[in-house]
Structure 1
Amino acid sequence: MTFAFPIRALGALAALCLLATLARAADPPKPVPAPIQQLRIYEIFEDTKPHFHARFRDHALRIMQRYDFRIVAMWETRQEQRTEFAYLLEWPDEATMKDRWARFMADEEWSRIKRETRSRGRMVGQIQDRTLHMVEYSPQRHLLD
């Protein structure tokens, strides 16, 4: 009879562990929030377009990578008399997007490159910036990966 209490205690402990496991299994998994996309559209000028593309390709992209920018795709568009450069980025959330842009804009190398390339003429006019939130029925949640 001296072993009856410990065996009962072990049985009760095993039952509690089983109930805790079942309770956790019954909780639905928390949905992973969808990332956000950011659409940037720059007005660019025909006379400085090659310089703009060289600066973006050779410098901006490299510095953006330093701050974990995830560029999905880039396009050049033309509307009436206006040429535009558009690109789409993907971010985990708005806070990350704002933080990374602040860090990029404060980057000393990027500031220096912009100063140095001003001598080639005006490269960017109007900038449009849109934050895109996917609707729940979007066929694709992540554009990268």
Structure 2
Amino acid sequence: MKKILFLFALIVCSAAVQNAMAQKKVIHQLRIYEIFDNNKAAFHKRFEEHAQRIMKNYGFHIVAMWESKSDKKTEFVYLLEWTDIPTLQDSWAKFMKDEEWKEIKRQTGKLHGQLVGEIQDRILTATPYSPVQGVDEMQEQH
């Protein structure tokens, strides 16, 4: 009898966890920056020491960061997680207007030259069969 009750409790808990995960809807944003081999160390230092810290002040949640290299270019790629599109837009607007960030960009540009080339920005919409759940409203906006 104890085994049956334990099994039943396990099934109920599993269903509750799956339901909670299904209800947690998030938006993922993929950012891809072209960076330059001659000053990529300065870029990485600026992002690690300054950008991340300032972004955190505005509610940015960085999930992961990568560097990608092809025969044509080097890219810095990172994935952000947001609760909704208005929060994403508001946070980016505040970050770009941040006086400390603007000064850091000015100073590092003066010391090291242009650190970022082309920037790609993508909102990722989860497919219905993805283990990561997306937000339905995103499909309406794109």
User: Do residues 111 (structure 1) and 102 (structure 2) align?
Assistant: yes
Quick one: which of 71, 79, 89 aligns to 2:80? 89
User: Do residues 47 (structure 1) and 48 (structure 2) align?
Assistant: no
In the TM superposition, what is the alpha-carbon distance from 1:105 to its structure 2 partner?
0.3
In the TM superposition, what is the alpha-carbon distance from 1:94 to its structure 2 partner?
0.9
Q: For the Cα contact (< 8 Å) 2:24–2:133, is it kept in 1?
A: no
- What do the CA deviations read for 1:29-75 (whole angstroms, capped 9, x no partner)? xx736211000000000011000000000000000000110001000
User: Which runs of 5 or more structure 2 residues have no equivalent in the other structure?
Assistant: 1-21, 135-142
What RMSD over aligned residues (CA atoms) do the two structures have, in Å? 1.5
Aligned partners of 2:122, 2:72: CA distance in 1, in Å?
Answer: 22
Aligned partners of 2:70, 2:132: CA distance in 1, in Å?
Answer: 29
Partner amino acid, structure 2, of 1:135:
T
User: Do residues 136 (structure 1) and 123 (structure 2) align?
Assistant: no
Match of 1:65 in 2: 56
User: Which runs of 5 or more structure 1 residues have no equivalent in the other structure?
Assistant: 1-30
Quick one: which of 103, 117, 124 aligns to 1:125? 117
Q: For the Cα contact (< 8 Å) 1:43–1:84, is it kept in 2?
A: yes
After TM superposition, the score normalised by the length of structure 2 is 0.75
Runs of 4+ in 1 over 4 A off after TM superposition: none
After TM superposition, the score normalised by the length of structure 1 is 0.73
Q: Size of the alignment, in residue pairs? A: 112
Provide the secondary structure at the position in 1 that maps to 2:123. Answer: strand
* Larger helix share, 1 or 2: 2
Q: For the Cα contact (< 8 Å) 1:37–1:133, is it kept in 2?
A: yes
